[in-house]
Amino acid sequence: MLLGVGPEGPVSGRRVAITGIGVVSCCGVGTEALWDGLNAPAPSGERRVTDFDPERWLSTKEVRQVDRFAQFAVAVASMAVEDAGVVDVDPARAGVVIGTGVGGLGTLEGQILLHEAKGPRRVSPRLVTMMMANAAAATVSIRLGWRGPSETVTTACAAGAHSIGHAAHLVAAGRCDLVIGGAAEAGMTAVSMAAFMNMTALSSSETSRPFDRRRDGFVMAEGAGALVLEDWDRAEARGARIYGELAGSASTADAFHITAPAPGGTGAAECMKLAMQDAGIGAADIGHVNAHGTSTPLNDQAEADAIGEVFGTETPPVTSTKGVIGHGLGACGAIEAVASVLTIEHALIPPTGGLEQQDPDIHLNIVTGAARPWRPAPILSNSFGFGGHNGCLVISPT
């Protein structure tokens, strides 16, 4: 794995193994629920997590003191650590990087209403620690007792990809032996939903149709995803199950507009190229693209243009999971990274839910209808966020 580390330029790093995964999505809790959902007919309407019981991981008292997004983070981190079989790690060399787009927005909105209704003395003294964006990473590191870096990335809808990429860099650079990388979001509040609707970002039909000619906006979602990223030699030495390799990552900025992507997807194309360069591979080595594919008119066209710029007229199979799971804002890149690992594990590429009439201006090899068998190869997973943030990961089979 080649790493761009600050102004020094690229340096060689240790291989980074993926040894544990955890996920919470509108499909349900856990990887089996996610995989089943990705291969089932796309739902309609809201994409909330309806079967989540935080008391599986937190006490009743803790649930009252931790915002829903951080509860999701604790759940997926716990699942990933258990899945990885981590029982012996130097806490000073174990870290946590969990991103989010809006943090504890639910708590903040509720406390504002309480303040207006009952006055300042009724505002919870825990408001700050529940709403702050770093609460998820902090809560996970405290529970695990891991004293390495505990950090938060807030780059809108690219936060999940950026968090996982940064976590991998901490391992590859030798700072940590093991890092949880992921993201969590629970921002489906009344005010946020109204704001996204009023900016015409949400689908008026409540239907997510990535790359479809009738797409009219995204469908909001909530959830979280996490990977345990571990020094490859350490993972092999302890006999860990290795799902794959976090082989490369990249981050760029469009520097164009606060919400609209750069015309032609120029920033996204550069990010994809840099991620492959970081992994030491070329476009011909990519076997599948897990697209950002939000179901918005501008994003899908710009991403399609970017993929065409990188791969030419014969693109790898492309899919967007957002037709099923919706758009989880800062968490989407982490959930999609988990989906990418499962795509390798099952040797199947899930279809793009909701896509029935492919936009004739989008010239991509999109998987539709049913899962497509494939021989696992490196996956390029894309995430792009408001502010012009671009994040790409390369996830490779063993």
Residues acting as catalytic residues: 157, 292, 327
Q: Are strands 94-99 and 178-185 parallel, antiparallel or unpaired?
A: parallel
Nearest CA among 92, 95, 75 for reference residue 83? 75
Q: What SS3 class is residue 52?
A: coil
Q: Which helix (H) or strand (E) holds 289?
A: strand 288-290
Phi, psi (rounded to 5 degrees) for 147: -105, 10
Judged by DSSP in three states, 62 sits in helix
Distances (CA, A) of 251 to 136, 185, 277, 297: 22, 21, 12, 23
Backbone angle region of 223, left / alpha / beta, with phi > 0 → left and psi within -120 to 50 → alpha: left
| 104: amino acid identity, one letter | G
For tokens 């243009």, what's the residue? Answer: 305
Give every CB contact of residue 256 below 8 A, 6+ residues apart in sequence. 262, 263, 267, 388
Q: Are 344 and 243 in contact (CB under 8 A)?
A: yes
Integer Cα distance of 370 and 102 in angstroms: 34
The two beta strands, 244-253 and 389-396, are: antiparallel
CA distance 133 to 15: 30
Q: If residue 168 lies in a helix (H) or strand (E), which one and from where to where?
A: helix 159-172
Asked if 73 and 140 touch (Cβ cutoff 8 Å), the reply is yes
Q: Is residue 37 packed enough to be buried (19+ CB in 10 Å), middle (13-18) or exposed (0-12)? A: buried
